[in-house]
Chain A
Amino acid sequence: MSIAEHKPRTLDILERTLKKRYAAERRFRYYGLAAVVSGLAFVSLLFISIVANGYTAFFQTAIKLDIAFNAGQIDPEGKRAPAVLARADYDALIREALQGLYPEVKGRSAKRELKKVISSGAGFQLRERVLGNPGLIGGKQAVWVAADDEIDVLIKGGATDIETYPGEGIASPTGVEGEIKVLLTTNSFNAVLNEVKESLLRKAAKAEKGLGLAEETLARVDAEIAVIDKRVEQETAAGNLGLVAEQNAARQNLLAEREGLAGKIATKATEVADLRRRAETPGGDEALSGELPSYLVRINGGLVKAASVNNSGISGQVLLPLSSTKGAAKGSWEIVKFATPEGDRRTKDQLIAWVMRLQEQGRIEQQFNTNFFTSGDSREPEQAGIGGAVLGSLYTLLVTLALSFPIGVAAAVYLEEFAPKNKWVDLIEVNINNLAAVPSIVFGLLGLAVFINFFGIPRSAPLVGGLVLTLMTLPTIIIASRSALKSVPPSIREAALGVGASHLQAVTHHVLPLAMPGILTGAIIGMARALGETAPLLMIGMVAFIVDLPGSLLDPATALPVQIYLWVDSPERAFVEKTSAAIMVLLTFLIVMNAIAVYLRKKFERRW
């Protein structure tokens, strides 16, 4: 084949296929870009979700109470003895202050409910205050105490949306306390009524579905009974009496089941019919259940919760007492809606009402949450902090650093500078490379078996954590140090040897200082990894619930990442923001450490 006939063909073919090839090229390029962008999107999503969940935790809702530091109650003997002061019942002071704010709350259970507004740790707060300044006793002072975690969540908007609508027409309450009615000249509650009816329809539909299922089951049971009947017939004919008895017993069971099912179906059917009737007849008086949003009427300085609505008004319980039964004109009363149904939230309507009162009086404020940074763990989210965990992490890392840095550098120096080339050294190198990739949890198992069970070091101690993390970070540090040592040119070594230094002197005086930035970078990165490590610490029991701050290397402690793990498991909503905030703190530490590493590398980077 000669070129002359070959060539035009090539260009022709190219002409035809080029478009497709460029399309493929573009597509490939977009895949690549999409991959990078999705990676970046994951990074930002992660950070956004954590920051969005967590930034509120740095502030804590506080409530201002006018506490009367009643001398008789706190210090009956009047000697201001710290022991006596420490033993006093400060919760009682809070109860009294609350009573002063809500004189209408009577009865033990209602008072207990009211106490839920305030953190259970508020008594300690007062005690600290009095112990710090006994002069308070006998006086009265406005004190900011921590709110309960549920209230904190509510104030931060996590419990329910609260909407208000201005009322139309004139509303006249029939009383100021207890069960009352609020009568309206317009049908402002029509929308609410409609919503109730819709929910009734939804409920009916759901019940019908259940009914259908129950009927299916019934049919199946019937079929089974029929099968058994047939078998009984056959076996009886065959004379297998034992089998017949067995089958009869099974039949009995099925019959019982059938009966139960039939009863259920009957009740369900009436329920469905009832729901449909209520939904379809217009008007009427409809009860608001806990599965619907809560509707309340704010009128005459009070709050009434609608228990049932009809076209002419509502009737229900007064949550905050009204000042009078005077009719309120258009605009001077309003409808309040708690969008999340009461059944779906932990803060009940009455509690929200009390908090709304506090808000009106300016007694609620967001304050910087120092407690979060200083305290240990707690079952109460508003009292829980990362102080203990940070301290635990610090102790653990100190042990890790103190052991892994010298050992790692020493090992790297030996392997890079002194080691002969033989099988033993090869084995060491293979070991180091493999250890770097062994799952961290396996190091935890090692720690559990060796340090705790064999050497008998107490569980949960930062010392054990540090030892385990040392073994884990050693390979990282050794590998980084070796490459730092390797990058120092041999000429430096030779120069030192040339002026008569011993090999060790050449290394310690010249090579090591030059390699130090690289080694430090590796060490910091190793430490950062150790700081974020969780799994091995779980194995050695640093996962316990520990309130006290650890005071030494042998005290039970937990670590910051483990604290995060513990809080994720906690059911309270308020822990979600605590967890996110703890993660933010952890990430801040990591970012700072990595930034230092990058800075060191940039600053001391040397091209030989």
Chain B
Amino acid sequence: MQPSLLIIVLLALVAMAYHLGRHRSIATVGGIRSVPRLHSLPCYYGAYTAIWCGIPAFLVLGLWLAFEPNIITILVVADLPEELRQLAPERLNLVVNDIKNLAGGNIVTGVASPGVQAAADHFISLENTSAAALSLVVLALGILGMGAAWSRISPGLRARNAVERTVKVLLIVSSTIAVFTTLGIVLSVLFEAIRFFKIIPITDFLFGLDWSPQMSIRADQVGSSGAFGAVPLFAGTLLISLIAMLVAVPIGLMSAIYLSEYANRHFRALAKPLLEILAGIPTVVYGFFAALTVAPFFRGIGESMGLTVSSESALAAGVVMGIMIIPFVSSLSDDVINAVPQSMRDGSYALGATKSETVRRVIIPAALPGIVGGVLLAVSRAIGETMIVVMAAGLSAKLTANPLEAVTTVTVQIVTLLVGDQEFDSPKTLAAFALGLMLFIVTLILNIVALHVVRKYREQYE
């Protein structure tokens, strides 16, 4: 049975369980009139039965589907002819891929050897067995669970409490998913990064000045020293983030100030949502804008001034990224500026200060921690931003501070290293995870610091 079909059948079973449970509970007390004699409402008995029917079955189904491919692969590899099993891991991976393709009826590279063909047949048969076993196990479990629950229904059964306990457990499980996501990120990235650092020493990675991962695809060059020095990427990331901040912070901050201190209600009601549109635009659109409109524009200006601006410049990417971050900075600043109590303003105005004096000498100093926190969050956004730089910043890992040249960033390299064909064990792919680890650590620190600063700031005025 197809998994999707199985799921539908199982859902039907669950619905049935609900009804059976409900009816049974009513029947045990002898009809709808005596329902008050039940401990809980009939629907709780239904839910009780449905839970017993559905949860174990779905749990098994999920686990089975999650681990089935790996187990089948292991079984197939174990049964491969001796000479195939002796292959190096990368080659073996290719063979396994061939087997899977063959089994799936796809085109394979070259002619399938009899060994591979046999393995493919084995694969198919295993898959079929597994599917059949799965259907059997899951449906049996569902029916058993339903039966067990059904038979336990009696007027004294505290069905509501049982159902509520289950629901609460589900709630708790849902709330822990965030923790597991973080854990998953840390483990997966860390695991691959450690493998990478076994090939390339971490010091070479962190302090090396030369980044040219493409060179080391050839087997004889694996791990050739100096090809994985990430400093140019860090420098490029910083350069672009700096440009972005130079655009976003003044514009974002000043517009927040203008909108909250100067603008009248109508203008604010109009301008604020319009500015926030910028926040809702997907980054790929910004990338397109950067590559197609802004970069040629800067090139044109540069040319007319006798400067050479490369077609993918840090400037274009940075400026567009800055535009993207404007609403982020402005709404965060807006929040913190509005959190400054009106009494501060009153105090200043009552001394005869003008608006701008009040803003510059009282409000901004008072809001500074909040603004700094907001800017830190914005920096973390800029560092982690991917599409704009992928589309507009370029790939050349040059160590330069010239914004008119093309630079590359951590995220761009992650994308280039991982998009397209990849073998999972080459340092090239692993390097992407090492970069991801750096990215995660840096943004995490920025976020924690920023959130802490902002929270402290809010508490101050609460």
Q: Do chains A and B touch in the complex (CB under 8 A)?
A: yes
Interface on A for B, CB 8 Å cutoff? 21-22, 24-25, 27-29, 31-36, 38-40, 42-43, 45-46, 49-50, 53, 406-408, 410-411, 413-415, 418-419, 427-428, 430-435, 437-443, 445-446, 448-450, 453-457, 471, 474-475, 478, 502, 504, 528, 531-535, 538-539, 541, 543, 552, 561-562, 564-565, 568, 576, 579-580, 583, 586-587, 590, 594
> A576 near B178 (CB under 8 angstroms)?
no
Q: What are the nearest 8 A-B pairs in CB distance? A: A439-B384, A532-B282, A32-B258, A456-B69, A449-B188, A35-B254, A28-B356, A410-B174
CB < 8 Å neighbour of B326 from A34, A39, A45, A538: A39
CB < 8 Å neighbour of B178 from A53, A428, A583, A594: A428
A576 CA to B415 CA, complexed, in Å: 23
* CB within 8 Å of A: which B269-293 residues: 271, 274-275, 277-278, 280-289, 291-293
Most A-side CB within 10 Å, residue of B70, B283, B355:
B283
Q: What are 26 pairs between A and B in contact, CB < 8 Å?
A: A21-B354, A24-B354, A27-B356, A28-B355, A29-B258, A35-B255, A38-B251, A39-B251, A43-B275, A46-B285, A49-B292, A408-B174, A410-B170, A418-B168, A433-B447, A434-B448, A438-B384, A439-B439, A474-B177, A474-B178, A504-B167, A504-B168, A532-B283, A534-B387, A562-B284, A568-B288
A580 CA to B289 CA, complexed, in Å: 10
CB within 8 Å for A427 and B179 given contacts A411-B171, A441-B414? yes
> B277 near A435 (CB under 8 angstroms)?
no
Residues of A within 8 A of B283 (CB): 532, 534-535
Nearest CB to that of A478 among chain B residues? B178
Nearest CB to that of B330 among chain A residues? A39
B184 within 8 A of A: yes
**Dominant secondary structure of chain A at its interface with chain B:** helix
A438 CA to B185 CA, complexed, in Å: 10
A561 CA to B286 CA, complexed, in Å: 11
A170 CA to B364 CA, complexed, in Å: 79
Residues of B within 8 A of A32 (CB): 254-255, 257-258, 261-262
B192 within 8 A of A: yes
Residues of A within 8 A of B261 (CB): 32
Nearest CB to that of B167 among chain A residues? A504
> B411 near A39 (CB under 8 angstroms)?
no
Minimum C-beta distance from A497 to chain B (A): 14
B342 within 8 A of A: no
CB within 8 Å for A46 and B451 given contacts A411-B175, A445-B436, A446-B189? no
Nearest CB to that of A419 among chain B residues? B175
Residues of B within 8 A of A433 (CB): 447, 451
Given contacts A455-B70, A533-B282, list 18 more A-B pairs with CB under 8 A. A21-B354, A28-B359, A29-B356, A35-B250, A35-B251, A35-B255, A427-B179, A435-B182, A437-B380, A437-B443, A438-B384, A441-B386, A445-B418, A534-B386, A538-B418, A561-B285, A565-B284, A568-B292
CB within 8 Å for A586 and B285 given contacts A24-B356, A36-B259? yes
Residues of B within 8 A of A35 (CB): 250-255, 258
* CB within 8 Å of A: which B290-331 residues: 291-293, 323, 326-327, 330
Most A-side CB within 10 Å, residue of B167, B255, B330, B381:
B255
A49 CA to B254 CA, complexed, in Å: 26
A449 CA to B171 CA, complexed, in Å: 27
Residues of B within 8 A of A441 (CB): 384, 386, 411, 414-415, 436, 439
Residues of B within 8 A of A415 (CB): 175
Nearest CB to that of B326 among chain A residues? A39
B219 within 8 A of A: no
> A565 near B258 (CB under 8 angstroms)?
no
CB within 8 Å for A568 and B254 given contacts A455-B69, A528-B280, A586-B285? no
* CB within 8 Å of A: which B320-362 residues: 323, 326-327, 330, 354-357, 359-360
> A43 near B278 (CB under 8 angstroms)?
yes
> A407 near B174 (CB under 8 angstroms)?
yes
A171 CA to B433 CA, complexed, in Å: 72
> A50 near B189 (CB under 8 angstroms)?
no
Most B-side CB within 10 Å, residue of A39, A443, A502, A538:
A39
A439 CA to B203 CA, complexed, in Å: 25
> A414 near B292 (CB under 8 angstroms)?
no
Residues of B within 8 A of A410 (CB): 170-171, 174-175
CB < 8 Å neighbour of A594 from B274, B280, B282: B280
> A407 near B177 (CB under 8 angstroms)?
yes
B164 within 8 A of A: yes
Minimum C-beta distance from A89 to chain B (A): 25
Residues of A within 8 A of B451 (CB): 433-434, 437
CB within 8 Å for A568 and B291 given contacts A39-B278, A432-B178? yes
CB < 8 Å neighbour of A502 from B160, B263, B390: B160
A456 CA to B323 CA, complexed, in Å: 39
Minimum C-beta distance from A47 to chain B (A): 9
A449 CA to B357 CA, complexed, in Å: 54
Minimum C-beta distance from A377 to chain B (A): 15
> B326 near A42 (CB under 8 angstroms)?
yes
> A590 near B280 (CB under 8 angstroms)?
yes
CB within 8 Å for A428 and B418 given contacts A35-B258, A410-B170? no
Nearest CB to that of B359 among chain A residues? A28
B424 within 8 A of A: yes
Minimum C-beta distance from B7 to chain A (A): 11
> B178 near A39 (CB under 8 angstroms)?
no
> A435 near B178 (CB under 8 angstroms)?
yes
> A411 near B177 (CB under 8 angstroms)?
yes
Minimum C-beta distance from B339 to chain A (A): 17
Nearest CB to that of B450 among chain A residues? A437
> A439 near B278 (CB under 8 angstroms)?
no
Residues of B within 8 A of A504 (CB): 164, 167-168
* CB within 8 Å of A: which B369-392 residues: 377, 380-381, 383-387, 390-391
> B387 near A565 (CB under 8 angstroms)?
yes
Residues of A within 8 A of B424 (CB): 453
B86 within 8 A of A: no
Residues of B within 8 A of A46 (CB): 278, 281, 285-286, 289, 323
A445 CA to B432 CA, complexed, in Å: 9
Residues of B within 8 A of A442 (CB): 185, 189, 384, 436, 439-440, 443
Minimum C-beta distance from B212 to chain A (A): 22
> B172 near A414 (CB under 8 angstroms)?
yes
> B176 near A428 (CB under 8 angstroms)?
yes
> B177 near A439 (CB under 8 angstroms)?
no
CB < 8 Å neighbour of A440 from B254, B354, B384: B384
Residues of A within 8 A of B284 (CB): 532, 534, 561-562, 564-565
* CB within 8 Å of A: which B148-196 residues: 160, 164, 167-168, 170-172, 174-179, 181-182, 184-185, 188-189, 191-192
A561 CA to B386 CA, complexed, in Å: 13
CB within 8 Å for A475 and B356 given contacts A43-B278, A504-B164, A532-B281? no
> A21 near B357 (CB under 8 angstroms)?
yes
B419 within 8 A of A: yes
> B288 near A43 (CB under 8 angstroms)?
no
Nearest CB to that of A32 among chain B residues? B258
Minimum C-beta distance from A496 to chain B (A): 14
> B164 near A445 (CB under 8 angstroms)?
no
CB < 8 Å neighbour of B419 from A407, A532, A543, A586: A543
Minimum C-beta distance from B25 to chain A (A): 18
A561 CA to B288 CA, complexed, in Å: 11
B1 within 8 A of A: no
Residues of B within 8 A of A580 (CB): 288
A533 CA to B275 CA, complexed, in Å: 20
CB within 8 Å for A455 and B66 given contacts A39-B278, A42-B326? yes
Residues of B within 8 A of A541 (CB): 419
> A50 near B285 (CB under 8 angstroms)?
yes
